[in-house]
């Protein structure tokens, strides 16, 4: 696989900083009472989405999850539509019907982001089957967390995806915790084995990657994409990463052992990419510039109109 050009890496760095600032902004506007419900934030997981999505083409489909803000922004969603959706406004990406857990733009190939754990895994498998049946150079990229690997939909979908050589790439963002529980307390595996090891039960290719390193993630996803399109079947990728915040807004993450968060912060994905491209000295300047964009977009989003009941009715059924 060709390594990404310097200009591409630079754009990834900016995307990751943008995602970090946007997530911090979501937290801020939540505290201001501008966000209904709850939010599931992804600070710390930026490299897994940016590196993976960087390996996709414009035609590829994406299945995301309720912790999916980074996927939407990495795929190119505009900030105002993003914030407005989280605020439940008509001007949001989904007309205010999806909320924080369902921020998608179908015109960017984002075809769903269910709040039900694991529900997107069969759906991505089906999209990958469409590509396979039509012989298209196209895949479905499926993101989910470590917690999704214990639900039936995961196993049912992996079995069929491999049987039928669906053009799908599965990416577990293993952020160490399924809700409030460390993944090793809920996931039966051979000692020290990664979750991706479960692919072996289905004869499926699998790999573990440093999820804090966008370049490493990009490389394995690009390989997996090529295999899927070639008809060699899906790959189960486990990107090892970390969620700086708790599961949802009300979770302070008190169950984490002392020092764990700090240790992961030493391997911050933004810092790792900045070092790699020799841009560590520019991160602050980029932050300042993007902070203004984020602030402006969130302020505009907060003035968006509320959706009407009539609009909501219109969204249920297609003509």
Binding site for other proteins (CB under 8 A): 61, 63, 92-98, 102, 104-107, 111-114, 116, 119, 121-131, 133, 140, 152-153, 156-157, 159-160, 163-164, 312, 314-319
Q: Are 268 and 53 in contact (CB under 8 A)?
A: no
- Give 62 or 298: the residue with its C-beta nearer to other proteins: 62
Phi-psi region of 89 (alpha: psi -120 to 50; beta: other; left: phi over 0): beta
**Tokens for 180?**
């409030």
Please state, in angstroms and rounded to a whole number, the distance separating the CA atoms of residues 26 and 46: 15
* Shortest spacing between CB 315 and other proteins, in angstroms: 4
β-pair partners for 236: 170, 206
**Tokens for 199?**
């692919």
CA distances from 304 to 37, 170, 296 (A): 18, 36, 13
* Shortest spacing between CB 127 and other proteins, in angstroms: 4
* Shortest spacing between CB 121 and other proteins, in angstroms: 7
β-pair partners for 170: 142, 236
Closest CA to 130 of 139, 141, 121, 122: 139
- Give 105 or 210: the residue with its C-beta nearer to other proteins: 105
Exposure b/e, 288-297, CB count within 10 A at least 16 = b: eebeeebeeb
Please state, in angstroms and rounded to a whole number, the distance separating the CA atoms of residues 167 and 230: 9
* Shortest spacing between CB 8 and other proteins, in angstroms: 27
DSSP 8-state code for residue 257: P
* Shortest spacing between CB 86 and other proteins, in angstroms: 13
β-pair partners for 209: 239
- Give 53 or 131: the residue with its C-beta nearer to other proteins: 131
- Give 159 or 207: the residue with its C-beta nearer to other proteins: 159
- Give 153 or 286: the residue with its C-beta nearer to other proteins: 153
Q: Are 35 and 86 in contact (CB under 8 A)?
A: yes
- Give 93 or 224: the residue with its C-beta nearer to other proteins: 93
* Shortest spacing between CB 167 and other proteins, in angstroms: 11
* Shortest spacing between CB 59 and other proteins, in angstroms: 11
* Shortest spacing between CB 241 and other proteins, in angstroms: 25
- Give 116 or 263: the residue with its C-beta nearer to other proteins: 116
β-pair partners for 171: 143, 237
Please state, in angstroms and rounded to a whole number, the distance separating the CA atoms of residues 112 and 124: 9
- Give 91 or 176: the residue with its C-beta nearer to other proteins: 91
């Amino acid at each position: 696989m060709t390594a990404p050009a310097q200009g591409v890496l630079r754009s990834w760095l900016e995307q990751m900083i943008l995602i970090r600032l946007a997530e911090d902004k979501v937290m801020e506007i939540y505290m201001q009472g501008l966000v209904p419900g709850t939010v599931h934030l992804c600070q710390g997981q930026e490299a897994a989405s940016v590196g993976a999505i960087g390996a996709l083409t414009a035609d590829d489909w994406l299945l995301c999850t309720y912790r999916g803000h980074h996927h939407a922004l990495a795929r190119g969603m505009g900030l105002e539509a993003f914030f407005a959706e989280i605020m439940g406004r008509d001007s949001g990406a989904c007309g205010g019907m999806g909320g924080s857990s369902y921020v998608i733009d179908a015109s960017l190939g984002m075809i769903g982001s269910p709040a039900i754990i694991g529900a997107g895994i069969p759906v991505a498998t089906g999209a990958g089957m469409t590509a396979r049946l039509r012989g298209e150079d196209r895949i479905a990229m499926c993101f989910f967390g470590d917690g999704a690997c214990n639900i039936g939909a995961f196993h049912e979908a992996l079995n069929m995806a491999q049987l039928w050589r669906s053009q799908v790439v599965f990416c577990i963002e293993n952020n160490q915790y399924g809700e409030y529980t460390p993944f090793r307390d809920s996931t039966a595996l051979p000692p020290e084995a990664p979750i991706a090891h479960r692919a072996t039960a289905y004869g499926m290719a699998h790999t573990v990657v440093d999820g804090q390193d966008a370049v490493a993630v990009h490389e394995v996803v690009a390989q997996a994409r090529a295999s899927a399109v070639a008809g060699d079947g899906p790959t189960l990728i486990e990107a090892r990463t970390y969620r700086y915040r708790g599961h949802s807004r009300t979770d302070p993450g008190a169950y984490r052992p002392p020092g764990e968060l700090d240790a992961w912060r030493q391997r911050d994905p933004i810092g790792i990419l900045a070092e790699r491209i020799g841009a560590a000295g520019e991160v602050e300047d980029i932050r300042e510039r993007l902070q203004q964009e984020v602030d402006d977009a969130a302020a505009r989003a907060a003035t968006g109109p509320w959706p009407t009941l009539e609009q909501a009715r219109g969204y249920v059924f297609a003509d």
